[in-house]
């Protein structure tokens, strides 16, 4: 069965530092990949998605993610963290031919002043 693994349920970075949130998927065929962000007591919002057009995907709020087939990874990065980036981030995958998205367990990002 397909799965998504997010390393680290909590990640803390200082304001202005690099943000790196890790995501690995299990699939023999490159799937569709997504990153979502959830602010407290709200629904999820799409940050970016990979659909095979380009391996480096740029999203909203300065985030980007790079698809690496050899590593089956889709890590999320942002060069300089801002206090407003504090939220929970979910990596998700839609296996080719499936009707639903599989979400990772989420990583809560804390920004230190």
Sites of contact with other proteins (CB under 8 A): 32, 34, 41-46, 49, 51, 90, 94, 98-101, 103-106
Q: Return phi, psi of residue 70, to 5°.
A: -65, -25
Least distance CB 17 / other proteins (angstroms): 26
Least distance CB 106 / other proteins (angstroms): 5
Nearer to other proteins, 43 or 113 (CB): 43
> What span, in angstroms and rounded, lies between the C-alpha atoms of 99 and 112?
39
Residue 66 burial (CB count, 10 A):
15
Nearer to other proteins, 1 or 83 (CB): 1
Nearer to other proteins, 69 or 105 (CB): 105
Sign, CA torsion 85/33/24/74: negative
């Amino acid at each position: 069965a397909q799965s998504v693994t997010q390393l680290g349920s909590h990640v803390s970075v200082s304001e202005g530092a690099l943000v790196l949130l890790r995501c690995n998927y299990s699939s023999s065929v490159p799937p569709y990949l997504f990153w979502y962000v959830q602010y407290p007591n709200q629904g999820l919002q799409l940050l970016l998605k990979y659909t095979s057009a380009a391996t480096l995907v740029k999203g909203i709020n300065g985030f980007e993610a790079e698809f690496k087939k050899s590593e089956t990874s889709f890590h999320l990065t942002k060069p300089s963290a801002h206090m407003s980036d504090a939220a929970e981030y979910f990596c998700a995958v839609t296996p080719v031919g499936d009707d639903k998205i599989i979400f990772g367990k989420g990583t809560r990002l804390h920004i230190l002043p």
